[in-house]
Amino acid sequence: MKLFEYFGFTGKVNQLMAPKQQFIAQKISRRYCVFAISLFSLQGIVALLGAVDLVIPDLPSPIPFEYGRAIHLGLSTFWPLIGTMGMIYFFITAELNREIYSPRLARWQFWIVILFCLLILGSLALRIGNGREFLEGMPIFYVGICLALALASYNLIQTLLTDKRNITPAAATMTVGMTFLLLLLLPNTLTYTNPIADEATKFWVVHLWEEMAFELTSAGFIATFYVVSGLASRAQIEKWLYLEASLAVIGGLYGTGHHYYWIGFPAVWLILGSLLSLVEVVPVGLLVHMTYKGLKHKKIRSNREKLTLWLLLSSVFYHITGASLLGLIITVPWVNLYMHGTFFTSGHAHLALFGSLGFVVLAGCYYVLSQGSEPTLKGYKGGVLAVILLNSGLIAMSSALMVAGLMQAYFWRILGMDFMEVRLSLNPYLILRVLGGMVFTLGDLLLSWHIYRTWRTTNAK
């Protein structure tokens, strides 16, 4: 069977799947996912405006570039966080086949995380921030995010303890991931006078959230989806899940060393950070192999599951290329010496953060919001088109940034040219980045509209 046949271009409209029984937590999870998709739409627009402002800085704007960038970085963190919360509530009840410990806590948690996310973004729009890169919001507001994560962690742990004999690996992995999100953010609610301590704790969110905590929550979702869709047996996927969880913790904790080395930590972190980053690609490679075998032996007939798989495979691709391999290259000290702080790092960050994490959260949110519905062939093709536009735009703007970064490093750090002269020479590539951003934003809005329309359809039933 040819590959394109697996993704539904067969000319047939699949029958509507019968809605499954919903727990209260699964209904609550839809709120999280809808809000996450709304922030995702906003992020695409904000990022595009920021890219234009970088090329034409004299354009009138109510928000200076540095605060616009801070809002963009905040959005890129908050929408996956909120979407992950919704995904976990949905899939943990599906895994355990029972209600969560307290739906009321889940509702309170939703309003708390929304309130403090909006406070952070709103204060940044009013030019109120602490100037701490990636975590520019006021520390007190991150206490609110920690409160929401604490409620989620407590709720999930109590849910597992309600029936200890029926805990599944996927449910446990998602719970551990949520708990790590809390533990890694908590130290960042404090203010440090020591710059090394400040930088180290910052990277617990900048690096460890993605490479460990979100890795665990995503792995639990992927495991559940593969069993439901028939791409792998439960025994197969749970073997992979044990390996993925173990290596995510080991690789995440020690792989962060490539950040530590440059901020004054002992030189041993240079070796640990570079070598142990290698282990993170192993479970992803195994997932690719398992997916190939699953598609070879089973044809997925549900358009809903096919579109979810398109998004998941996009995540896997960038996990291997943008996050693991490219990340490994730029952590080599002799490379990082020249590339650190250039547009090359920005290109890697786009592929690593949105590429590996964003696509998997989009897959989970779409699956949650489309429960009880089956897209028509036309709707499915529209969703696939949106995914293609997202991929095309992401690759285009990341490639332009990396080319700009290579030139920036050569002209500035090797030839010793004036910084501003180098910066102006990069404008053609930054314009290409804007064009790629336009394609990405078009895919962003198209997919968000598709998901929103699906949500409205299923919400009316």
- Residue range 95-116: average pLDDT? 96
Predicted local confidence at residue 431, as pLDDT: 96
Determine, yes or no, domain membership for 2: no
CB-CB contact of 7 with 384 (8 Å): yes
| Residue 15 domain-assigned (yes or no) | no
What is the tally of structural domains in the chain? 1
Is 50 exceeded by the pLDDT of residue 5? no
- Nearest one of 357, 279, 281, 366 to 314, comparing CA atoms: 357
Q: What are the C-alpha distances in Å from 411 to residues 329, 332, 415, 417, 431?
A: 20, 21, 5, 6, 19
pTM of the complete model = 0.92
Please report whether residue 18 resides in a domain: no
Tell me how far the alpha carbon of residue 273 is from its chain's centroid.
22
Report whether pLDDT(7) > 50.
no
Using one digit for the tens of pLDDT, what is the confidence trace for 84-96? 999 999 999 999 9
Mean pLDDT, range 386-411, rounded to an integer: 96
The residue segments making up the domain with residue 131 are: 23-459
- Reduced 3-state DSSP string for the chain: CCHHHHCCCCCCCCCCCCCCCCCHHHHHHHHHHHHHHHHHHHHHHHHHHHHHHHHCCCCCCCCCHHHHHHHHHHHHHHHHHHHHHHHHHHHHHHHHCCCCCCHHHHHHHHHHHHHHHHHHHHHHHCCCCCCCCCCCCCHHHHHHHHHHHHHHHHHHHHHHHHCHHHCCHHHHHHHHHHHHHHHHHHHHHCCCCCHHHHHHHHHHHHCHHHHHHHHHHHHHHHHHHHHHHCCCCHHHHHHHHHHHHHHHHHHHHHHCHHHHHHHCCCCHHHHHHHHHHHHHHHHHHHHHHHHHHHHHHCCCCCHHHHHHHHHHHHHHHHHHHHHHHHHHHHHCHHHHHHHCCCHHHHHHHHHHHHHHHHHHHHHHHHHHHCCCCCCCHHHHHHHHHHHHHHHHHHHHHHHHHHHHHHHHHHHHHHCCCCHHHHHHHCHHHHHHHHHHHHHHHHHHHHHHHHHHHHHHHHHCC
The answer to which of 10-19, 60-69, 319-328, 415-424 has the lowest mean pLDDT is 10-19
What is the Cα–Cα distance from 194 to 367, expressed in whole angstroms?
44
- CATH code, domain carrying 45: 1.20.210.10
Closest CA to 86 of 76, 98, 78: 78
pLDDT digits (tens, 9 = 90+) for 408-448: 999 999 999 998 899 899 999 999 999 999 999 999 999 99
The pLDDT of residue 16 is above 70:
no
Q: Is 9 a member of any domain?
A: no
Average pLDDT, the chain: 88
Convert the pLDDT of each residue in 346-378 to its tens digit. 999 899 888 889 999 999 999 999 998 888 889
Give me the mean pLDDT over the 45-54 stretch: 92
**More confidently predicted of 356 and 188:** 188
Averaged pLDDT for residues 105-123: 97
123 vs 267 pLDDT, higher one:
123
How confident is residue 173, by pLDDT bands cut at 50, 70 and 90?
very high
C-beta of residue 255 within 8 angstroms of C-beta of residue 330: no
Domain membership flag for residue 6: no
User: pLDDT category, 78, cuts 50, 70, 90?
Assistant: very high
Residue 257 is predicted with a pLDDT of 79
Distance of CA 419 to the CA centre of its chain: 33
Residue 14 lies in a domain: no
